């Protein structure tokens, strides 16, 4: 009788738990992080509310969440390492394995898949010689298979360090990663130059700067509103 291995574990394209290593940073690194952490924590009425940005802060330091980063967050907020890890492993934006300078994610959810997302992912795998969850030998590109990022009106979408690249094609996506690997400054479809992964993490922590977009919706997002106005349509009045 053939045995079946029912051992539970992460999918091949999903990072595992934080890898081992020192539980504390070198004193100078710890001190610098503590200064930034104090700024972040001061923004919240309850210090525990600062956990998510603090995780981005230590991710900016190491390029992913290390044991030292988890322990640092725990000490800053009076939590246990297990409590911090529980939060960190819930959200996909927190990396648990070393990440390249550019985290390239391809959406293959329904609309993006219909519009060519699967073909883009396959093209990038062949072009880069890696599978989702892996990083190129030059540490420049980490490929990721991502879930919907609410940009269906620009499908198929590729994200680089969480900046949108709209209406992509297999060949265009391969050209995009080549430009990134060459060191070229590349602008996102609706934003500024895409920074490296660790700088993006500092921005998300609230202690970095960004050349991101101005927050205004793009033309495709407003297509339905334009049609409604042209037809004289309006939303019904809200009754108390």
All domains of the chain in start order, with CATH: 27-88 (1.10.10), 102-195 (3.40.30.10)
Residue 1 has pLDDT above 50, yes or no: no
For position 212, what pLDDT does the model report? 56
CA atoms of 186 and 202, how far apart (whole Å): 19
In the chain the first and final C-alpha atoms are separated, in Å, by: 67
pLDDT, mean over the chain = 88
pLDDT digits (tens, 9 = 90+) for 76-122: 999 999 999 999 999 989 999 999 999 999 999 999 999 999 999 99
Token duo for residue 88: 């960190």
CB atoms within 10 A of CB 187: 12
Residue 12 has pLDDT above 60, yes or no: no
CA atoms of 55 and 103, how far apart (whole Å): 17
pLDDT digits (tens, 9 = 90+) for 41-70: 999 999 999 999 999 999 999 999 999 999
For position 8, what pLDDT does the model report? 33
pLDDT digits (tens, 9 = 90+) for 159-177: 999 999 999 999 999 999 9
Distances (CA, A) of 27 to 30, 36, 64, 121: 5, 15, 20, 42
- With a threshold of 0.75, does the pTM exceed it? yes
For position 156, what pLDDT does the model report? 96
3-state secondary structure of 25: coil
3-state secondary structure of 45: coil
Token duo for residue 116: 């060519």
């Amino acid at each position: 009788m053939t045995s079946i291995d029912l051992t539970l574990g992460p999918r091949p394209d999903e990072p595992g738990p934080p890898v081992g290593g020192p539980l504390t940073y070198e004193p100078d690194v710890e001190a610098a992080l503590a200064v930034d952490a104090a700024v972040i924590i001061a923004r919240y009425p309850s210090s525990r509310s600062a956990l998510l940005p603090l995780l981005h802060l230590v991710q900016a330091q190491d390029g992913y969440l290390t044991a030292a980063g988890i322990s640092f967050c725990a000490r800053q907020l009076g939590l246990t390492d297990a409590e911090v890890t529980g939060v960190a492993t819930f959200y996909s934006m927190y990396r648990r394995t070393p990440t390249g300078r550019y985290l390239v994610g391809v959406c293959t959810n329904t609309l993006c898949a219909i519009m060519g997302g699967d073909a883009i992912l396959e093209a990038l795998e062949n072009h880069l010689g890696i599978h989702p969850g892996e990083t190129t030998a030059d540490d420049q590109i980490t490929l990721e298979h991502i879930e919907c990022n609410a940009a269906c009106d620009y499908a198929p979408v590729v994200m680089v360090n969480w900046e949108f690249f709209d209406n992509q094609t297999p060949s265009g996506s391969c050209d995009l990663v080549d430009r990134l690997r060459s060191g070229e400054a590349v602008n996102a479809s609706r934003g500024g130059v895409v920074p490296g992964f660790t700088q993006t993490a500092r921005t998300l922590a609230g202690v970095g700067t960004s050349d991101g977009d101005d927050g205004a919706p793009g033309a495709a997002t407003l297509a339905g509103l334009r049609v409604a106005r042209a037809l004289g349509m309006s939303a019904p009045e809200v009754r108390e």
